[in-house]
């Protein structure tokens, strides 16, 4: 059977999700869920209203009711889902504007692959529940989301914060939240008209202009979201992007049990008391948080989950938690204590159709011991590498780390050699 879902829901170029596709996907979800009400929100993409309305018509036709949340961040949909049981976010997250997609939620978080497969089966077989006529209403969950975060974070009075909302859904909540925490807030790229002032993924390359704004201004810290604000990065007061793994480690500092992924740096092991590693993807992180009753979980992509708030990745909560740490003096104190080992993350183009074959060939080529928790991970005395096909883009990812630059260079060279041989 064909696959609809990748690592983080469905993301496709707009031409691949015409209205009929969206209607049938809505029918599949409405036919699958046992919940009476489905919550739905969308990010700021200009294609959002048509994609959303088509999907809603499909859900309504199965007899399910729909609560429309409007333009909201993905974690706000999670907040509503905790009440209704089923939620949908219309978003392609950090993908370019010519993409859109869907993220499916249940009360325990993003749908697991086994649950997604059931939705796919209904979709492809068109085994829809027909003849229903559900109702549609609109509700605001932004305030409830803000209250959930304010109940768990400390004040940040006087902390001077710059927030870059990327023209995305974070514009609807993060500046307001930080203001209520007592921060002195400056906001850039807070438009919600579907025009993205920069590439949405909060990478170092895409943060150059934001870092320059920080350097020219007077800020204690800055944060930047992706399109749907389930992720955030931090920029220090000198306008330098805080490394993803260091930001993850700051938030995990001194906690009893934290969950992270196989591609995370070994620096988190230096600061957390017990580290549980799992597959890449917030659904797996959330699952391990529940299994281990963990205090925190996150990925070095800027996806952070705070169980004291809810079990969904939340870039807004991450900004609030970090701002509070700055206010208490702990953020930079912790950051100064975190070791930074040489690390690299590479994306090697690989057509989706070739990923499985490439992975199989890699297992035949590599003559060292490796693990297969997620992709292929090779550990040496002073370095490690992870070769893993992307679940959302036509790439193979290489993530590698060494205790010295020489250690890193050696294992990266081997990783490229193995991957090149496997792709030929």
Q: In a 3-state reduction of DSSP, which class is residue 194?
A: coil
Q: Phi/psi at 6 (nearest 5 deg)? A: -105, -155
The angle, 0 to 180 degrees and rounded to 10, between the axes of the packed helices 405-423 and 355-365 is: 120
Task: Render 235-285 in DSSP notation, one character per residue.
Answer: EETTS-BPPHHHHHHHHHTT-SEEEEETTS-THHHHHSSEEEEE-SSHHHH
Residue of 196, 273, 265 lying closest to 228 (CA atoms): 196
Any bridge partners for residue 68, and if so which?
Answer: 40, 138
Q: In a 3-state reduction of DSSP, which class is residue 293?
A: coil
Buried/exposed code over 263-277 (b: 16+ C-beta within 10 A; e: otherwise): bbbbbbbebbeebbb
CA–CA distance, 179 with 161 (Å, rounded to integer)? 9
CB 163 within 8 A of CB 185: yes
Tell me the chain's radius of gyration from C-alpha atoms. Answer: 21
Of the listed 93, 171, 249, 390, which one is catalytic? Answer: 93
Given phi > 0 = left and psi -120 to 50 = alpha, else beta, which region is 130? beta
Residue 93: active-site member: yes
CB 324 within 8 A of CB 250: no
Query: What's the number of CA atoms in the CB half-sphere (13 Å) around residue 179?
Result: 9
CA–CA distance, 168 with 92 (Å, rounded to integer)? 11
Q: Could you tell me where the DSSP H helices lie in 126-207? A: 142-150, 174-180
Kindly list the catalytic residues.
93
């Amino acid at each position: 059977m064909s696959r609809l879902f990748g690592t983080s829901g469905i993301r496709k170029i707009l031409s691949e999700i015409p209205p009929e596709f969206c209607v049938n996907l809505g029918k599949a979800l409405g036919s699958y869920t046992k919940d009476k009400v489905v919550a739905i929100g969308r990010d700021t993409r200009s294609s959002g209203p048509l994609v959303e309305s088509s999907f809603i018509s499909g859900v309504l036709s199965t007899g399910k009711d729909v609560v429309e949340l409007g333009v909201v961040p993905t974690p706000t949909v999670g907040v509503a889902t905790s009440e209704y049981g089923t939620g949908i976010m219309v978003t392609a997250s950090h993908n370019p504007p010519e993409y859109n997609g869907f993220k499916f939620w249940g009360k325990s978080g993003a749908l697991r692959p086994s649950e997604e497969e059931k939705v796919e089966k209904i979709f492809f077989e068109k085994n829809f529940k027909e003849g229903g006529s559900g109702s549609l209403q609109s509700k605001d969950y932004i305030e409830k989301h803000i209250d959930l975060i304010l109940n768990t974070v400390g004040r940040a009075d006087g902390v001077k914060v710059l927030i870059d909302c990327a023209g995305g859904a974070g514009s609807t909540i993060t500046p307001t939240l930080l203001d209520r925490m007592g921060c002195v807030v400056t906001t850039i790229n807070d438009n919600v008209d579907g025009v993205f002032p920069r590439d949405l993924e909060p990478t170092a390359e895409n943060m150059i202009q934001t870092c320059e704004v920080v350097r020219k201004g007077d800020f204690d810290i800055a944060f930047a979201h992706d399109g749907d604000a389930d992720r955030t990065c931090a920029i220090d007061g000198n306008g330098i992007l805080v490394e993803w793994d260091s930001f993850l480690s700051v938030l995990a500092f001194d906690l009893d049990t934290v969950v992270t992924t196989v591609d995370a740096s070994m620096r988190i092991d230096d600061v957390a008391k017990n580290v549980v590693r799992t597959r890449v993807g917030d659904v797996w992180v959330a699952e391990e948080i529940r299994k281990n009753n963990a205090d925190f979980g996150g990925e070095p992509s800027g996806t952070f989950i705070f169980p004291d708030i809810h079990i969904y990745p939340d870039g807004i909560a991450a900004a609030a938690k970090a701002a509070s740490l700055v206010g208490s003096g702990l953020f930079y104190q912790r950051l100064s204590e975190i070791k930074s080992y040489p690390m690299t993350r590479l994306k090697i183009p690989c057509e989706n159709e070739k990923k499985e074959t490439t992975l199989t060939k890699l297992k035949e080529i590599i003559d060292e011991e490796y693990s297969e928790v997620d992709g292929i991970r090779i550990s040496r005395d002073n370095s490690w590498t992870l070769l893993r096909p992307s679940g959302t883009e036509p790439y193979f990812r290489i993530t590698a780390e060494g205790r010295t630059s020489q250690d890193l260079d050696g294992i990266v060279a081997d990783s490229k050699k193995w991957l090149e041989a496997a792709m030929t």
